Copies of this chain bind each other. A is one copy, B any other.
């Protein structure tokens, strides 16, 4: 018997009577009463007053209680970490941020994360056992099933480190680990495009990657590497890539490659950050280099459109935020190269959540795990306990 079915109905935030819940779920009123009692017993659902009376005693209204538990969302970037405490509706309660280099290694970074999470919990007057799940995004490939990074290029010391186990030991709840671009796609879709089932988010910064949501679900693939756009070959390019192949998108259109294009044009830039600054100052050379990079990214995104057929492409990341030329180059090639039926209703948009997509996605990852029917039912019914007798009212 699934108490989670009743809980699921209430997740839209609207209050309902027992009779309404019985009608919407198709369950008997007696079963609904039992499930409501179970959910009130653990605080997930609370009475919120009475429905308008139709004669006789008015029926009680019940609603989801988002503050019954909390989750922690963590966004680990190359040089920053954000930890957020959020309620079960995904609203942030409090957050901490540190400038911290991911290359300092897993124990330094995750140690700060665990400390910050504990401090946020305490500051809000909550207990650690009210945290039902932690979601965390890392800037490198992650084997989602085991929660371990796999040969992440900018994360020395993290290869196969048991991120989920290490944090679970310190925070006492399930930990979901994914790569940063996947959680950004999740955060962007759930926050800004909730009606859109097929969305691709491409992040353009020091590297290039994508998160793919198809049929409403994040697609990770067999080994968790789906969406690796950075090492797709760009038609016409033979530039050598650090991965050992040639012509990879990252080797021609990520921040360092754009900086190199600019140096060829005689402009003195060393880093992705300086490219962003130069574009902000209106440099025509930066505009030219960014449009060329956008066209290369567009070539690969045209393939994504043909293969995955999204209705929305979000261009995010440090370079995307800085440059309309990048966006223009991408759009030009995607609309020219993709099939008409696939682009008829295709939107290419900037990120609406800005720098917040990662931590929003990490919070979503944690909530969707904690409130998934199996996890919720297992928490509500002690294992091995016999089915509850039906209480007639």
Residue in contact with A303 in the complex, picked from B219, B232, B345, CB distance below 8 Å: B232
Residue in contact with A234 in the complex, picked from B26, B235, B342, B345, CB distance below 8 Å: B235
A220 within 8 A of partner (CB): yes
Find the B residue at minimum CB distance from A198: B222
Q: A387 and B22 in contact (CB under 8 A), knowing A307-B308, A341-B141?
A: yes
Bound complex: CA A150 to CA B224 (Å)? 33
Q: A345 and B309 in contact (CB under 8 A), knowing A232-B303, A233-B235, A387-B28?
A: no
A299 within 8 A of partner (CB): yes
A302 within 8 A of partner (CB): yes
A146 within 8 A of partner (CB): no
A318 within 8 A of partner (CB): no
Bound complex: CA A377 to CA B342 (Å)? 35
- CB of B339 within 8 A of CB of A307, answer no
From 373 to 393 in chain A, residues with beta carbon under 8 angstroms from any chain B beta carbon are 377, 381, 387, 390
Bound complex: CA A217 to CA B220 (Å)? 13
From 334 to 393 in chain A, residues with beta carbon under 8 angstroms from any chain B beta carbon are 336-337, 339-342, 344-346, 377, 381, 387, 390
Bound complex: CA A226 to CA B345 (Å)? 14
Q: How far is the CB of A28 from chain B (nearest CB, A)?
A: 5
Find the B residue at minimum CB distance from A237: B235
A96 within 8 A of partner (CB): no
**Among the interface residues A151, A210, A217, A223, which one has the most CB atoms of the partner chain B within 10 A?**
A223
A271 within 8 A of partner (CB): no
- CB of A306 within 8 A of CB of B231, answer yes
Residues 207-236 of A, flagged 1 when their CB comes within 8 A of B and 0 if not, give 000101011010111111111110111111
A95 within 8 A of partner (CB): no
Residue in contact with A223 in the complex, picked from B26, B237, B309, CB distance below 8 Å: B309
Find the B residue at minimum CB distance from A200: B307
- CB of B245 within 8 A of CB of A221, answer no
**Which residues of chain B are within 8 angstroms of A143 by Cβ–Cβ distance?**
341
Q: How far is the CB of A143 from chain B (nearest CB, A)?
A: 8
A10 within 8 A of partner (CB): no
A310 within 8 A of partner (CB): yes
A243 within 8 A of partner (CB): yes
Give how many copies assemble into the complex.
Answer: 2
Q: How far is the CB of A38 from chain B (nearest CB, A)?
A: 13
Q: How far is the CB of A177 from chain B (nearest CB, A)?
A: 15
- CB of A233 within 8 A of CB of B303, answer yes
**Which residues of chain B are within 8 angstroms of A337 by Cβ–Cβ distance?**
233, 245
- CB of A311 within 8 A of CB of B387, answer no
**Which residues of chain B are within 8 angstroms of A299 by Cβ–Cβ distance?**
233
Bound complex: CA A28 to CA B377 (Å)? 15
Residue in contact with A235 in the complex, picked from B22, B215, B235, CB distance below 8 Å: B235
Bound complex: CA A29 to CA B310 (Å)? 45
**Among the interface residues A31, A215, A336, which one has the most CB atoms of the partner chain B within 10 A?**
A215
**Which residues of chain B are within 8 angstroms of A306 by Cβ–Cβ distance?**
225, 228-229, 231-232
Q: Hey, which bits of chain A sit against chain B, CB under 8 A? A: 1-2, 22, 25-31, 141, 143, 150-151, 197-198, 210, 212, 214-215, 217, 219-229, 231-237, 243, 245, 247, 299-300, 302-304, 306-311, 336-337, 339-342, 344-346, 377, 381, 387, 390
- Please name 22 pairs of A and B residues whose Cβ atoms are closer than 8 Å in the assembled complex, sorted by A: A1-B31, A27-B387, A143-B341, A212-B307, A212-B308, A214-B214, A214-B219, A219-B308, A220-B309, A221-B309, A222-B310, A223-B342, A225-B309, A225-B341, A226-B307, A228-B306, A228-B342, A229-B307, A231-B306, A232-B303, A233-B337, A235-B247
